[in-house]
Amino acid sequence: MSSAPIAAAHARVIALARRVLAIEAEAVQALADQLDETFTRAVDLILASRGRVIVSGIGKTGHIGRKFAATLASTGTPAYFVHAAEAAHGDLGMITANDVLVAISYSGSSEELLKIVPLVKRQGARLIALTGNPESPLALEADVHLNGAVREEACPLNLAPTASTTAALALTDALAVALLDARGFGPDDFARSHPGGALGRRLLTHVSDVMRRGPAVPRVGEDALLGDALMEMTRAGMGMTAIVGSDERIIGIYTDGDLRRSLASGCNFSTARVADVMKRGPRTIQASALAVEAAEMMERLRISQLLVADGQGCLVGALNHHDLMLAKVI
């Protein structure tokens, strides 16, 4: 095949992809423009609930519903997904009178959802419906209806759920974030919901969890010779040593960088005192600080090691970039 037909085919692919993205972006923007008090009513209804949020749907909207339930559960609103078809075969027993059911169906006429809605409402649970048709049976049954209508699907046939599912995803994300904010859900709360991932490590790991302690922390007294300080640096393998007073208060630090400068200046390592060439008053961090704070400080100050001090300025630990990398904080 010559290059011209290939180039034309590639151009068609790019043009179609751009059309899809433009249609879906337009659909989301249209939802933002039409938000009204029904959205706040949905938020208030969930906040007032003494139970959980049950999300239900089928087909493509079911997948959106699963994601919505997962987002709610990880951001402070207890929730789970119930498949609409399975609900009619026993899973309906998961729903109680204190719960709020969020039913997602673009047509608003899903037979599986309409079959369970009367039973859910009879139990006393409240219903939020997200559809693309305010006059649909599901919308009319709802306590609150969220309109997720789109002008057209991104599918060239205007058949496959594309723009409509993107709109539903965006609208449910907006609902989850509004609930997160209303509950005062913060980074520490988020970390407790994500202890196994990278985010959890970043938010839950403290300096005390990764720092070196006791004999693993290189240190010499302020009267030590520079040669003794070098031996201590070699022993501990941290690329530095702390210089402390008799009360363990941190006086200074001597690093690999300082060693290179000492060599360049012709320093006599046999007679020089480390106190004469150390950096005085080094930056420190407390053991209770988050490890990510230590990483940020080291990056900002362009240093590779950090001493850990208690409230009185006494040396209690030390860490370097390698320690943070091993803990997967950076």
CA atoms of 323 and 330, how far apart (whole Å): 9
- Coil/strand/helix, residue 45: helix
Pairing of strands 53-57, 219-221: unpaired
Query: How far is C-alpha 81 from the geometric centre of its chain's CA atoms?
Result: 21
Task: Write the CB contacts of 230 (distance below 8 Å, at least 6 apart in sequence).
Answer: 259, 269
DSSP labels, 77-146: --EEEEEHHHHTTTGGGG--TT-EEEEE-SSS--HHHHHHHHHHHHHT-EEEEEES-TTSHHHHH-SEEE
Distance CA 176, CA 70 (A): 10
Per-residue pLDDT tens digits for 5-51 = 888 889 999 999 999 999 999 999 999 999 999 999 999 999 999 99
Nearest to 220 by CA among 259, 250, 260, 257: 250
Dist. CA 93–CA 299, nearest whole Å: 54
Residue-wise pLDDT for 247-272, tens only, equals 999 999 999 999 999 988 888 888 89
User: For helices 163-182 and 60-74, what crossing angle results, to 10°?
Assistant: 20
83, 109 Cβ separation under 8 angstroms: no
In terms of phi and psi (left: phi > 0; alpha: psi -120 to 50; beta: otherwise), the region of 307 is beta
Using DSSP's 3-state secondary structure scheme, residue 270 falls into coil
Q: Which pLDDT score is estimated for 2?
A: 63
pLDDT value for 220: 96
Q: Is 165 exposed, middle or buried (0-12, 13-18, 19+ CB in 10 A)?
A: buried
In our burial notation (b when 16+ CB lie closer than 10 A, e otherwise), range 15-38 reads eeeeebeebbebbbeebeeeeeee
Which portions of the chain are predicted below pLDDT 50?
A: none
Q: How far apart are CA 202 and CA 185, in angstroms?
A: 17
Dihedral sign for Cα atoms in the order 96, 97, 101, 107: positive
Name the one residue in this structure whose structure tokens are 């940020």: 296
- Say how many C-beta atoms besides its own lie within 10 A of residue 173's C-beta: 15
